[in-house]
Amino acid sequence: MLSFGQTPALRGADLAVTAGEIVAIMGPSGSGKSTLLHCLAGILVPDSGEVHFDGRRVDTLRETERSALRRDRFGFVFQFGQLVPELTAEENIALPLLLSRTRRSSALAEARSWFPRLGLEGLESRRSGELSGGQAQRVALARALVARPDVLFADEPTGSLDSLTGEQVMDLLVTTARAEGTTVVLVTHEPRVAACADREVVVRDGRVTSLTPQRVAS
């Protein structure tokens, strides 16, 4: 359970995600789906209940330990990308590696290797204000995946994009996650985005109200 003041945001939500699985969390606005994602990622600590990852209980870790977990094991993509405006596109992608004390030349070289995969060749030196929404979101996705995280948390990753660009970003997300064996937990209100996942979870009034079985590849 998690409350903001007197307002409960989660009320006994129960969810398990297996390694390599892509899970979509759906629900109406205000249902608690983003709050659930933030608890799973160790950004928020629930008032009661437990969050476990790889044999560790996340909700009882100190903030410094949870920060290290987010830095070293998790990747994040948000609706508006949240790129650092002062950095170039390649520097934004390299940022998780630099924070992990990878040598700058090696971090930038790894970042540059993503641009052909992103379809963004030639944009390495551009800053976020010089990129379109779709370009910026692809840079944000590469930043989330460059350190090869165990889990990628994505909160409305296509919410600010048009349909075609959103499909391109989701195709890149799913293809890369499958290739890297990355677990993905994504929040969305769009059925076409949720259809890319192995399984859908519906959250209403702070509770997980329904689970769809894992899809079997044809």
DSSP state for residue 58 in the 8-state scheme: G
SS3 at position 62: coil
pTM for the full model?
A: 0.87
Residue 125 CB burial class (10 angstroms; 0-12, 13-18, ≥19): exposed
pLDDT tens sequence across 34-90: 888 998 999 998 888 889 999 999 999 999 999 999 989 999 998 766 899 999 999
Q: Is the pLDDT of residue 169 over 90?
A: no
CATH code for the structural domain at 2-6+20-86+134-141+148-211: 3.40.50.300
13 or 50, higher pLDDT? 50
The total of other beta-carbon atoms located within 10 Å of residue 178's CB is 12
Q: pLDDT category, 183, cuts 50, 70, 90?
A: very high
Residue 165 confidence (pLDDT) above 70:
yes
pLDDT digits (tens, 9 = 90+) for 126-158: 998 999 988 998 899 999 999 999 999 999 888
Which pair of structure tokens corresponds to residue 26?
């759906």
Q: How high is the pLDDT of residue 1? A: 41
Q: Which of 216, 179, 186, 218 is nearest to 203 (CA)?
A: 186
Tokens of 160: 């600010």
Residue type, 91: E
| pLDDT in the model for residue 90 | 97
